[in-house]
Amino acid sequence: MALTYSEIMVRYGELSTKGKNRMRFINKLRNNIKDVLSIYPEVKVTFDRDRGHIYLNGTDYEPVAESLKQIFGIQAFSPVYKFEKDVEVLKKAVQDIMTGLYRDGLTFKVTAKRSDHDFVLDSRELNLTLGNAVIDAFPDIKAQMKGPDVNLKVEIRAEAAYISHEEIKGAGGLPVGTAGKGMLMLSGGIDSPVAGYLALKRGVDIEAVHFASPPYTSPGALKKAQDLTRKLTKFGGNIQFIEVPFTEIQEEIKEKAPEAYLMTLTRRFMMRITDRIREERCGLVIINGESLGQVASQTMESMQAINAVTCTPVIRPVVTMDKLEIIDLAQKIDTFDISIQPFEDCCTIFAPDRPKTNPKIKNVERYEGRMDVESLVERAVAGIMVTEITPIEEAQDEVDTLIEDLL
């Protein structure tokens, strides 16, 4: 008999400690899992108080498991076989399962549980009967109650019997969306996607804000930011992508301010606009990819000058990380290869050779006094374009590359 998994059982992580918020957490996690697994059309997801059930309906287990491993808020999951509720069928089932696992010296036990109390055997009798069936098939196998190599978990439910023997560790963290919403300032660089990933890990529902300055920046740069956003959807589901028209502001700054201050002024505008968008869309914080001392705009003095335009909390998840540590994470979350694609960002294009590392607020304000800051900000905010990024296009891309590889 060929055994195939019929469902995956999901155990919740930290959220089990969250008291009366529990149902809200569980619902978020269920919706996130549905978003992420939307690339598998046959898969169905249902959740109850204690755990989630992911019905495979014929879909291969392996890729679904790979997807699940990435989703924040899952503590562990187990693939499950489904059988008819019949003692003979179950005896054969445990023997078949052990055939795939058996090796010399293997220890095992059976842990049965029934929610259907009308079943002919109670849990103790099930443990014995099924344990003996395994020993009949493998006379040298050792039963061991404490820490066996294999724990065959048998569950008799109303509709069928279920057996699992494997528990796979999940990503931990909190379900995305349970901590509230934050605006991620997402460039096409290495750092901001990693910052987004770390915010997602703690349950922040991020919206990606990307500043584009066509024709100075190319459609390729925009697509890069969208592709990075899509990479982030695998941790907790769909993400709103907000493109901000930034050309007018960059031209204005270039015309009205000395070169050494371009960077500081540009960043202050980005911060103001992101904050305005945050307010309109009910976000609570701003998240960016600044890392202390990495470049001129990221000295403490620069951070202070840039941050001065808002009192909204600015979360900087990578602020104390070394570049190499950030790159390690970027590789782990598979954003690195996209980040290093050579498309010019709006900041690279207008970047001065020698930006100020110690900008003076007094000067900053003087230069901004030459511009109509408020209406520039308003026009940019009025011109935003919002799209929802889902994991699906990536699956399509993978299919396309597979087909290309075949040809």
Interface contacts to Mg ion, rule CB under 5 A: 187, 189
By C-alpha distance, which of 226, 222, 221, 223 is closest to 193?
Answer: 226
Q: Could you tell which of ligand ATP, Mg ion, none binds residue 229, using a CB distance below 5 to 8 A set by kind?
A: none
**Nearest to Mg ion by Cβ — which residue?**
189
Rank residues 156 and 319 by Cβ distance to ligand ATP and give the closer one.
319
Shortest Å, Cβ 189 to Mg ion: 3
Secondary structure of residue 124 in the 3-state scheme:
helix
Q: Could you tell which of Mg ion, ligand ATP, none binds residue 190, using a CB distance below 5 to 8 A set by kind?
A: ligand ATP
Instruction: List binding-site positions for ATP.
Output: 185-186, 210-211, 267, 289, 298
Q: Are 73 and 15 in contact (CB under 8 A)?
A: yes
Question: Which helix (DSSP H) or strand (DSSP E) does residue 112 occupy?
Answer: strand 107-114
Rank residues 187 and 298 by Cβ distance to Mg ion and give the closer one.
187
Write out the residues near ligand ATP by the rule CB under 6 A. 185-187, 189-192, 209-211, 270, 288-290, 294-295, 297-298, 345-347
How far separated are the first and last CA of the chain, in Å rounded?
A: 36
By C-alpha distance, which of 190, 144, 151, 146 is closest to 167?
Answer: 151
Shortest Å, Cβ 238 to ligand ATP: 19
Q: Are 260 and 352 in contact (CB under 8 A)?
A: yes
**Angstrom distance (rounded) from CA 86 to CA 102:** 24
Q: Could you tell which of Mg ion, ligand ATP, none binds residue 294, using a CB distance below 5 to 8 A set by kind?
A: ligand ATP
Measured torsion, CA atoms of residues 336, 339, 342, 347, in degrees rounded to the nearest 10: -150
Rank residues 164 and 192 by Cβ distance to ligand ATP and give the closer one.
192
Shortest Å, Cβ 182 to ligand ATP: 12
Q: How are beta strands 285-287 and 142-143 bridged, if at all?
A: unpaired
Instruction: List binding-site positions.
Output: 185-186, 210-211, 267, 289, 298
> Which token pair is 380?
């940019």
Rank residues 5 and 211 by Cβ distance to ligand ATP and give the closer one.
211
Q: Could you tell which of Mg ion, ligand ATP, none binds residue 185, using a CB distance below 5 to 8 A set by kind?
A: ligand ATP
